Amino acid sequence: MTSLPIEPVVAPQRIPEKVARRLNRWDSPWLNPKLLTGVSMVMFVILLGVVGPLFWDVTQARVASAPLNIPPIWVKDPPAIFPDPDPAHPLGTESNGRDILALLMVAAPGSLRVGLIAAGLGMGIGIVLGFSAGLIGGWWDALVRTIADAVITIPSLAVLIVISAFVRQIDLNNMALLLALFAWPGPTRLLRAQVLSLRERGYIQLARLSGASTLDIMFKEMLPNLLPYLAASFSGNVSGNILAATGLEALGLGPTRVPTLGMTIFYSIRAASILRGMWWWWGPPIAILVCIFVGLFLISNVLDRIANPKLDRGF
């Protein structure tokens, strides 16, 4: 009978306390690569409008401020109908005599501003109505729920097209206000559902028994627990409002005095830039929109997983 050698059991090495604390710090969900990537993409668009004018003449975004139809500098052999590339216009120019780089520096922050204002107004109205309806209940809850359900069934794009067609002059603020008319029912219904589940929690019942007012329960007890959820909903609403604004502008119903990404696409369509091979006119605005949408989607996705840990699958 042969005896097997007994190997000594080696105790696992203990990680030093400083190293463990550092690893836990970097394991925070707020340092998730998806979240950092999304924030970086959105910050790129913001910095394009904030820092870009410090290094580039954005007055070239005006009509007839640059030569016409110049291709980007990396186009080596442009067709004979286009002039040679000019280093003074690295992304080229369009048929209205505007520099594409200067146009993006002005248009990208303008489109993002419309989405932020519309989503902010819609979220503010949704917080007030959703919190009050879910917490107060009764006839007020029935009234808010009925109005929100009725408004959310209205085809908003069709109504916005009709309203925009009758408004004589549209600027960025007016466009944001028009979009905010249909930006509040969604947050109202979602926040009402969250409040209905939270108001039965023990700490809310304890706050009621201690004599806290309705406003204190709404904004001191419930609101801090819903901040990640509100941030995720806000990011999604910004993306949806930018998409709605771009759709209106692509139809020619946007602001005409201030460049936006949607109006840039509209002018390129009207000038038949696709048939003429001027891809540098419509390509960069679409790329910036994709950057905004992907960045906001990543931010919303991570914040939603922080607010709803049960959704975490390989987070």
Task: Give the pLDDT score at 19.
Answer: 47
Residues 6 or more apart in contact with residue 172 via CB below 8 angstroms? 110, 113, 114, 117, 255, 258, 260
Architecture of domain 55-311: Orthogonal Bundle (1.10)
- Whether 315 has a pLDDT exceeding 50, the answer reads no
Min mean pLDDT across 147-161, 199-213, 227-241, 254-268 is at 199-213
Task: For residue 29, give both structure tokens.
Answer: 């969900």
User: pLDDT by residue (tens digit) across 221-278?
Assistant: 787 778 888 888 898 899 999 998 998 888 888 888 888 999 999 999 999 998 888 9
Task: For residue 98, give both structure tokens.
Answer: 């505007």
User: pLDDT by residue (tens digit) across 66-114?
Assistant: 889 999 999 888 888 888 898 999 999 999 999 999 999 999 988 999 9
Is 111 in contact with 105 (CB distance < 8 Å)?
A: no
Is 218 in contact with 70 (CB distance < 8 Å)?
A: no
Task: Give the pLDDT score at 23.
Answer: 43
pTM: predicted TM-score of the whole model, two decimal places: 0.82
Task: Give the pLDDT score at 101.
Answer: 93
Task: Give the pLDDT score at 3.
Answer: 56
Is 186 in contact with 152 (CB distance < 8 Å)?
A: yes
CA distance 152 to 164: 19
Task: For residue 81, give both structure tokens.
Answer: 């109908």
Min mean pLDDT across 74-88, 134-148, 210-224 is at 210-224
How many helices (H) and strands (E) the chain has is answered by 14, 0
In single-letter form, the type of residue at position 100 comes to I
CA distance 275 to 282: 12
Domain ranges of the chain: 55-311
Task: Tell me the pLDDT of the chain averaged across its residues.
Answer: 83
CA distance 188 to 86: 52
Task: Give the pLDDT score at 42.
Answer: 92
